[in-house]
Chains A and B, each alone.
Chain A
Amino acid sequence: MDPQLTSLVVSQAETTHIEDTLERLVAETGANYSMLLDKSGQVIAASGDTDRQDITALGALLAGTFASSREVARLLKEKDFRVLFQQGVRENIFTELISEQWMLVVMFDKRTHIGLVKVLSKRATDELASILERVKLESRAKDHIISTNFRTSVEDTIDLLFKD
């Protein structure tokens, strides 16, 4: 990842592509929902029955779990753990790394078989990897989205909101 790139700008068109990929994954696996996260824990896109949980908090926690497993891998002199599986009584979570920067998360219950999730997630992560590569390239050229006016307005809002 280019460390000098300070923002990832996801265009309308690419968001649609990402959502289509997630939607297809949910439909074909019968999962409850799936999400695309970046490594800082932000939810880039989600599809399926996402109303049931606070996905912002989930994103932060799942990215934290993955980041922590990356450090475990480092200690074991393993390159990385590309997949994490959390098995519950009712719900299961399958998380797969995309490139080094993003994560695909699939939430599913006992109606869905883990094998199917694994196979179809692999296909989805390949698709998402190529979309996200394009997004990264486009992000370099899209600096104009954040205008001086925008920055001034955000600063005013910060002053208004963050006070005792």
Chain B
Amino acid sequence: MALINVAAREIHCKIVYYGPGLCGKTTNLKYIHSAVPGHAKGDLLSIATETERTLFFDFLPLDLGQVHGFQTRFHLYTVPGQVLYERTRVAVLNGADGVVFVADSQQNKLREDIISLQELARNIQAEGKKFLEFPLVLQYNKRDVPNALPLEQMDHYLNSSIKVPRYEAIASKGVGVFDTLKSISKLVISKL
């Protein structure tokens, strides 16, 4: 739930990057952190294992500066993607205003994508929210791998029933990262 502080004239929104293990959620945040101008970002905080896998979450605060007298801030989080961390994902998802679902385009990852998206739907409904009305954007990541599924198939399996905005991406090179971020930020603001 967004926080609007009238006295401090601040607006805070929380956006969570969700998806199966190794799909590129942290890579998205790392790219955003490297490309956003210094005055608009805080430190990227990562709680990861020794092997650089996300253990709890990554956190990146972004500051849009003054808009109509309000300091507008987005807090970006990632969840740990590995199956065993399901309850941790629930914890990070708490109070989110919008979600980016990062899907892995590799053919052999489709099953994991589908299971993870279904789990997301369950977790959002468990918070008492309607999944189909919740601000959500899909990102089909790793479009450059040789075994990437054709776009139509990704759409068919992941987006045919929910019909949300979706973007192709190669997060490691920054392709599509900002298109995704722009889309979810605007969706979140439209629901404030």
Contacts and interface: CB of A to CB of B under 8 A. Distances in A.
A158 interface: yes
Contact of B178 (A9, A157, A164): A164
A160 B64 CA distance: 10
A7 B192 contact: yes
B61 A71 contact: no
Interface residues on B, range: 35 or more
Interface in A45-76: 45, 54, 56-57, 60-61, 63-64, 67-68, 70-71, 74-75
Given A67-B92, A161-B40, A38 B5 contact: no
B67 interface: yes
A6 B191 contact: yes
**Most chain A CB atoms below 10 A, which of B3, B36, B70, B174:** B3
B134 to A, nearest CB: 10
Interface stretch (B21-29, B109-117, B137-145, B181-189): B181-189
Given A39-B95, A56-B61, A155-B186, A162 B181 contact: yes
A71 B40 contact: no
Interface residues of A, number: 50
Contacts, number: 151
B65 interface: yes
Contact of B45 (A12, A60, A163): A60
Interface string A1-40: 1011111111110011000000000000000000000111
B107 interface: no
Interface stretch (A77-85, A104-112, A116-124, A145-153): A145-153
A74 B126 CA distance: 13
B45 A150 contact: no
Given A7-B3, A157-B72, A71 B90 contact: yes
B107 to A, nearest CB: 28
A137 interface: no
A78 B92 CA distance: 20
B1 A163 contact: no
A57 B43 contact: yes
